[in-house]
Each structure stands twice: as structure tokens, then as C-alpha cells.
Amino acid sequence: METLKIKSTEDSPRILLDKESNILEISGRSLPEDVNTFYEPALSWIEEYAKNPLDITVFNFKLTYFNTASSKVILDILTQFEEMIEEGHNVLVRWHYLEEDEDMMDAGEEYSEMVDVPFEMVSYLNP
């Protein structure tokens, strides 16, 4: 399966979806002009991936900021994982947040309550 790699910009996150290397990650800041257009390749990639996923799927969110429009798309992605789990696959979401960023931690905890997907909260210190 082809790797999807999108470089980060000032208003959009870096996306790396690499099945071979087992790296599935969205990181950075998310307030693209059109969230649906921006995230469409990632949503399609995950949809394709879900047909034949790895034994254990570990997906990393490492966002520093996302706007309310992006919050809906994140839910869409998580819903895809929920469907994978319903089909018997193993999925874990790692939600990374800057240790002092309580809002980002809360956001992760709220998502974990909204979908039936295991979450692991991972805090990191300012680089």
C-alpha cells in the first residue's frame, strides 16, 4: 500500500500514513482553509487501509492546535477506527499532548468517551 505523506504548513498538519514502516501519524497545527479537501486523502487512505490492516494498528495524533472545523474531521477518522474494531481489528489511538496543555489533554479524553476505541494518553515536554 502506498505511503501518504503530506508536509506540514503554517495552517495544516503533517500527515504520515506508512503501512510498511508501521507509522500512522497526524502532527502539528490544523486550521486548513477547507478541512474536507485537506483531509480527503487521509480519510481515503484509512478507508483503503481498513480493508487489510496490520495486526495491530497504532495511530498517533500529535496535534498542537486544531480548530472547531477540524474537530469534526478528527471524529470522522476515529469513527473509521471504531468500524475497524467492530470488524474485529485491533486499533489503538495514541493521543499526544504537550504536558502543560490541559485543553489538548481534555480534547483527547473527550474523544475517547465519544468513540469505542482504546486511547492511550501520552504527554510530552516542550521540545
Partner 1 sequence: MESGFLEFVYDFYKSMKAHEIKLVYEGRVTHQITKAFIALTEAQMSENEEAASVQRKVFHVMVECLQNISRHADEYESGESLYAGKGIFMVSQTDETWCVTTGNAIFNEKVKDLREMIEQINELNEEDLKDLYVKQMRVGRLSAKGGAGLGFIDIRRKTKRKLEYHFLPITDSVSFFLLTTFIPRIL
27: Cβ–Cβ under 8 A, 6 or more apart, which residues? 8, 13, 14, 16, 60, 61, 62, 63, 96
Instruction: Looking at residues 3 to 62 of the shown chain, list those that interact with partner 1 (rule: CB under 8 A).
Output: 10-11, 31, 33, 36
Residue 69, interface with partner 1 (CB under 8 A)? yes
CB of 79 to partner 1, least distance (A): 8
CB of 80 to partner 1, least distance (A): 12
CB of 61 to partner 1, least distance (A): 16
DSSP structural state of residue 56: E
The CA-based angle 121-68-40, given to 5 degrees, is: 85
**Strand, coil or helix: 52:** coil
Positions in the binding site for partner 1 (CB under 8 A)? 10-11, 31, 33, 36, 65, 67-69, 71-72, 75-76, 100-103, 110, 114, 126
